[in-house]
A and B are shown apart, each in its own frame.
Chain A
Amino acid sequence: MLEWIESTDLSLAIREGGLPYPIIGGVHLLAIALFGGMLLATDLRLLGWVMRGRPFSDVWYQFRPWKRVGFVVVVATGLLLVWAEPVRLYGSPSFWVKMALFALVGVHALVFRAKVYGHPEQLDAGISSQAKLAAALSLILWAGLVVSGRLIAFDASFEGQPMGNADYHNPLGR
C-alpha cells in the first residue's frame, strides 16, 4: 500500500521534482501562520489575554472563516507531503506522535463543541472555566503539532536515507 502510494506520479513528482517539495512545505508553513494567528486570537480571548473588551462571539465569528481556510490549506499540503514519502514517515516516531496529537484535536473538538465552541454567545457574559480549559488544551495541542512536525525531519530513522533534509551534521539541511 505505502509502496503503491510512493509509486504514483504525484508522489514521485513531489519527492523528486526539486521545487514542488519545498514549495508545498512553504505553503504548509504559511498556512500554519494564518491558521495559528486565528487560533491564537480565539484561544487567547477565551483565556482573557487579548481583546478583553470584546464579546467572545464577535471574536469567534470574525476569525472563524480564515481559521477554516488556514486549516484546510494546512491539512491539504500536509497530506501532499505525506503522499510524497509515506514509507519514510511510517518509520518516523515523531510522525506518529503528530498523528496521535491530530486525533486528540478531533477529540477536543467533539468534547468541547457542546459546551464551548457550539454556543459562543453564551460565553459573552463571562468565560467559563471549562472554556478556559478548552483554550489552554487547544494551544498545547497545536504547539505539540508544530513541535512533532518539525521533529519529523530530525528522526534518527531518517538518517542515511535519500533526500537529506534530516542530516544532523548539516544544520542547513534541516
Chain B
Amino acid sequence: MLAEFFRWLVNSPWSHFMNSYEWVFPAVQSLHFIGFAMSIGTIAIVDLRLLGLGMRRQGPADLAADLAPWTHVGIAVMLTTGPLMFSTDAVAYHFNPSFQFKMACLMLALLFHFTVHRRAVRPDVPPIAAELAAATSLVLWTAVVAGGRMIAFI
C-alpha cells in the first residue's frame, strides 16, 4: 500500500513539475530554507528569551505572540516545499536513514511546539520548566536541520 502511494506520488503532476526544469528543484529547496529560517529562527528567538539570553526588552509571552504569525507562515512554507521534494523520489527518501531521523524529530518538534512550547511562555510557568522547554525546543529543531542536511550524505 505504501509502495502504491509512493508510486502515485512520484507520478503526480507536481512531481513531474519538480523534475521539469533543472531550476525547479533548487528553487523549491531554497524556499524550504527560507521557510525554516523564518519558522525555526523565530522559534529560536522565543527559546533564547526563555533561557534569559537576550531579547530582554520584551516578555516571552509578548515576544511569542508578536512572532507567531511569522513562525506559522514559515512552518506552512516548510511543510509545503518539503513534501514537494519528497514526491520526486519518495521511495529513496523513505529508506534514507537521515530522512527517517529527520521525520521523527520533526513530528516531535511540531508536537512539542504546539503543545508544551506555547504554554511555556506564560508568566505563571516556573522558570526552570520554561528553560527546560526552551532547551528541548532548540535541541529538537537543531536535530531536524542536522538530519535534513545529512540526507544528501547518508
Contacts and interface: CB of A to CB of B under 8 A. Distances in A.
Interface in B108-154: 141-142, 145-146, 148-153
B152 A40 contact: no
A5 interface: no
Nearest to A150: B30
A22 B33 contact: no
Interface string B24-51: 0111011001101110111111001000
Given A41-B67, A172-B152, A34 B22 contact: no
Contacts of A38: 41, 45
B38 A150 contact: no
Given A32-B37, A150-B33, A154-B26, A50 B57 contact: no
B29 A150 contact: yes
A29 B149 contact: yes
Interface stretch (A61-69, A84-92, A99-107, A113-121): A61-69
B151 A40 contact: no
Contact of B45 (A58, A63, A165): A63
Contacts of A66: 45, 48, 53-55
A38 B40 CA distance: 11
Contact of B44 (A25, A33, A61, A62): A33
Interface string B65-90: 01101100000000000000100110
A146 B55 contact: no
Interface of B: 22-23, 25-27, 29-30, 33-34, 36-38, 40-45, 48, 53-58, 66-67, 69-70, 85, 88-89, 92-93, 96, 141-142, 145-146, 148-153
7 contacts: A22-B152, A26-B150, A35-B37, A50-B66, A62-B56, A146-B37, A154-B22
Given A36-B38, A172-B93, 5 more contacts: A25-B149, A30-B142, A33-B145, A41-B70, A172-B152
